[in-house]
Amino acid sequence: MLLILFLENKSPTQAFSSFNNPFFASSITKNTICKYFKLFGDIAFSFYQQKLRSTFLSGEVEVDETVMFRIKKTRARRKRNCRLKSIWLLGMIERKEKKFIVVPITSRNESNLIVSLLKYVDCESTIYTDCYSVYVNNRRFPKVSRLIDYGFNHQFIDHSVEFVSEQFTHIHTNTIERLWKSIKTDLRNKKITRGYLKAIGRYFFHKCLTKEQQITFIRDYINLC
pLDDT single digits (tens) 17-42: 877 766 655 678 889 999 999 999 99
The mean pLDDT value of the chain amounts to: 88
Q: What is the pTM of this model?
A: 0.86
- As a whole number of angstroms, the distance between CA 191 and CA 11 comes to 9
Are residues 202 and 37 in contact, defined by beta-carbon separation less than 8 angstroms? Answer: no
User: How large is the average pLDDT for residues 153-180?
Assistant: 95
- For helices 30-54 and 211-224, the axis angle rounded to 10 degrees is 100
Indicate the pairing of strand 87-94 with strand 100-105.
Answer: antiparallel
The CATH number assigned to the domain with range 2-71+81-224 reads 3.30.420.10
- The model's confidence at residue 179, banded by pLDDT at 50, 70 and 90, is very high
| DSSP state letter for 173 | -
- Tell me: pLDDT of 74 over 80: no
pLDDT, position 103: 93
